[in-house]
Amino acid sequence: MLMETIVPLMVIIPLGAAFTVVILSNLKVVSRLARIIAPLAIAVNLTLSIWICVYSYYYGDATVWAGRWDGIAGRPIGIELVCDGFARLMLVTINLVAFAAIIFSTAYMERFTTIWLYDSLFLLMTGAMNGVVLSGDLFNMYVFIEIAAISSYGLVAFGTEREELEAAFKYLTLGVIGSTFILIGVTVLYSLTGQLNMTRVARIISLRGISQSPAVILAAASLIGGLSLKAAMVPFHAWLPDAHPSAPAPISAMLSGVLIKAAGVYAVVRIIFNVLGINPYYANVLIALGALSMVIGVFLAIGQWDFKRLLAYHSISQMGYVVMSIGVAAAVVARGGSMMAASLCMLGGLFHMFNHAAFKSLLFLSSGSIEQATGTRHLKKMGGLARRMPLTSFCCRVGALSIAGVPPFNGFFSKLIIIIGLVVAGYPILAALAVLVALMTLLSFIKVQRYALEGPVSEQTNSVRESSWQMGLGMVILAVVCVLAGLALIPLKQYLFDPAGNALLNKAASMKNLLVEAVK
Amino acid sequence: MGIAIYILAFVFILLGVYALIAKKNVIRIIIGIGILEYGVNLLLVLVGYRKGGMAPILANGQSSANLAGRAVDPLPQAMVLTSIVIGLSITALAVALAIRLYDKYGTFDMNDIRDLRG
């Protein structure tokens, strides 16, 4: 009963707060009050998401029906909110990054006008992402993906300068193509099964044994194509390096840190594992997308001199690791291989997804702090920041060491698990590629350290001062997560990653059994 | 005859995608977004279509099984309304961006709007 109240609140609080901010900011008496609503709402959400994690660990998964109608046939009709392990992992990730970003932006956004619009869009985006990961209904998931996408178009254009507007328009154009294909996929699945609920669609597909029929393949192609576009996987990545750096820094952190995961990778993994059912073809598509993104992303990143653009290309590359390793887990399950290898790859992928959210957001926040102090994003124009901005530099270093995979930071452990998992699952070539990409990532971040933080003090950095304490606090939260997530892997695995991996693998395995029975 | 309208929906979708990818004028791209949305909405509403079907409203004294046997599927109609609203807000946002782009660049040609390098 308690969960029935709490789980919908994850969506209701941010969505409600988004509109409250707009109303309160325009009433003269309370307009100062409106500034604290957004941080407050996100803080409540973060607390609730952690509470849900711990509670569900002891009392099991919760399924909540919003707007339930019991119907005639005895099967409830309504919007199902599924709070299983995978959804809980994403909830914690989203709200953690959102909390750090909103604290950072209380100071960072001072130089913009109409901050209430920013707060409102930020809350809408966070609430919509919570909705995407909780949704157990295909159409509902599409609607939340669209809400998140539309608010992110607005946030990318928030500066309304030449570059921001251009990037936002390109992002919107490609985003529309992506969401249209998602909707086509949902439509085809609905016309085939007459259901929108993911569990029921999955059941009907496996019971009728139609997972190889042309209609399902059309739906799968549309969904995987559309969602990979949202996730910026490599042939569909062209919008990301424009859109992510053009947004204000906390929004870059949210877009790179969680939006491409919640609206892209999460959705595609959920649909392949829990709706369409895994088979070798989908697994190979995931592996190919992941490996391509991983390699091409890092090659594009290495030549960049714009700090935020470099980080954006690394996002493509790091998400490649996640998708590839989850794809290998799917391939192992599909061919009936050892569950140990599958769950190892799954753990690596999910852990890396969480870590990437922490360190990439941290790097984007510190790039924002540097940009605000020095007025430039060009690495060659920086220099000597380690002495001028000690806290920012320290946090930037923690993030760079984490993404480069240096022990004992979190990125090292997740990359290690992925590489071991790939070898155990029988993909030594991919494992070698993963090592190569890790080395190139390290190389690229040595360049960042060398040009931005070390070296002689340039004219532009001579008079800079450390940023305000709110920005520092936002960065320190994520830096602590980066350090702790590596050290506290065992408890995190128990409470977060194992339930998440099991939610995917067990459901996929049970669907496969249904299919085998149906064929008999 | 039945298949023709499905083909029309896919023609719309392909035209829209073509306009979004190949056209270089901001206004034409926005029109492409509109065509794309129409195509998907048409497809969506066709899914619930039934030849000679009646409106899904329970008449006085009619049994629900009778209605379910004769009426069109109401769910895609509810979905298409949501989809239309989403399409409207995207078009509105795109037009707003186009106005601001014109203010900054003085042109609607995407070939001239390229400060960001690939």
* Span A308-331, pLDDT tens digits: 999 999 999 999 999 999 999 999
Single-letter amino acid, residue A418: I
**Structural contact between residues A405 and A411, judged by C-beta atoms closer than 8 angstroms:** yes
Residues 6+ positions from A164 with CB-CB distance below 8 Å: A156, A157, A158, A246, A247
Query: Is the peptide bond between A390 and the residue preceding it cis, with omega within 30 degrees of 0?
Result: no
CA angle A28, A32, A34 (to 5 degrees): 95
Set of chain B residues whose Cβ sits within 8 Å of the Cβ of A221: none
Please tell me the distance from the alpha carbon of residue B49 to that of residue B76, in angstroms, as a whole number: 9
Indicate the DSSP class of residue B73.
P
Which residue matches tokens 């340039």? A458
DSSP secondary structure, A376-432, as one string: --BGGG---HHHH-HHHHHHHHHHHHHHHT-TTSHHHHHHHHHHHHHHHTT-HHHHH
Residue B118 reports pLDDT greater than 60: no
Helix (H) or strand (E) holding A515: helix A498-519
Q: Quick one: pLDDT band at residue A491, thresholds 50, 70, 90?
A: confident
Give the count of beta carbons closer than 10 Å to the beta carbon of residue A333.
Answer: 25
**pLDDT the model gives residue A519:** 58
Q: What average pLDDT does the structure give for chain A?
A: 90
Give the count of beta carbons closer than 10 Å to the beta carbon of residue B1.
Answer: 5
Contact B40 A154 (CB under 8 A): no
Set of chain A residues whose Cβ sits within 8 Å of the Cβ of B90: 150, 172, 176
CATH fold group of domain B2-105 = Helix Hairpins (1.10.287)
Which of B64, B88, B97 is the best residue to mutate to test the A interface, defined by the most A CB atoms within 10 Å of its own CB?
B97
CA of A174 vs chain B CAs: smallest distance (Å): 8
Please tell me the distance from the alpha carbon of residue A66 to that of residue A4, in angstroms, as a whole number: 9
Residue A241: both structure tokens together: 């390096």
Range of weakest confidence among A210-214, A263-267, A478-482: A210-214
Task: Over range A71-79, report the average pLDDT.
Answer: 76
Give the count of beta carbons closer than 10 Å to the beta carbon of residue A215.
Answer: 13
Residue ranges of domains in chain A: 304-487
Residue of chain A with shortest Cα separation from B26:
A169
What phi and psi, each to the nearest 5 degrees, are found at residue A240? -65, -45
Q: Quick one: pLDDT band at residue A75, thresholds 50, 70, 90?
A: confident
Contact A150 B93 (CB under 8 A): yes
**Structural contact between residues A63 and A4, judged by C-beta atoms closer than 8 angstroms:** no
**Structural contact between residues A349 and A325, judged by C-beta atoms closer than 8 angstroms:** yes
Give percent of chain A with pLDDT exceeding 70.
97
- Which residue from A154, A162, A196 is facing B105, i.e. has the nearest CB? A162
Give percent of chain A with pLDDT exceeding 90.
59
Please tell me the distance from the alpha carbon of residue A129 to that of residue A61, in angstroms, as a whole number: 20
Q: Is A364 exposed, middle or buried (0-12, 13-18, 19+ CB in 10 A)?
A: buried
**pLDDT the model gives residue A518:** 61
CA of B8 vs chain A CAs: smallest distance (Å): 14
**Sequence-distant contacts of B19-23: CB under 8 A, at least 24 apart:** B20/A173, B20/A174, B20/A176, B20/A177, B21/A177
**Structural contact between residues B5 and B46, judged by C-beta atoms closer than 8 angstroms:** yes
Kindly list the residues of chain A whose beta carbon comes within 8 Å of any beta carbon in chain B: 72, 139, 143, 146, 150, 153-154, 157, 160-163, 165-170, 172-174, 176-177, 179-180, 183-184, 187, 190-191, 194, 196, 238, 242, 246
Does B105 touch chain A if contact means CB atoms closer than 8 Å?
A: yes
Angstrom distances, CA of residue A142 to CA of A165, A174, A178, A193, A426: 25, 16, 11, 17, 36
Task: Over range A439-457, report the average pLDDT.
Answer: 87
**Better-predicted residue by pLDDT, B65 or A476:** A476
Task: Over range A414-424, report the average pLDDT.
Answer: 94
**pLDDT the model gives residue B110:** 86
Contact B44 A246 (CB under 8 A): no
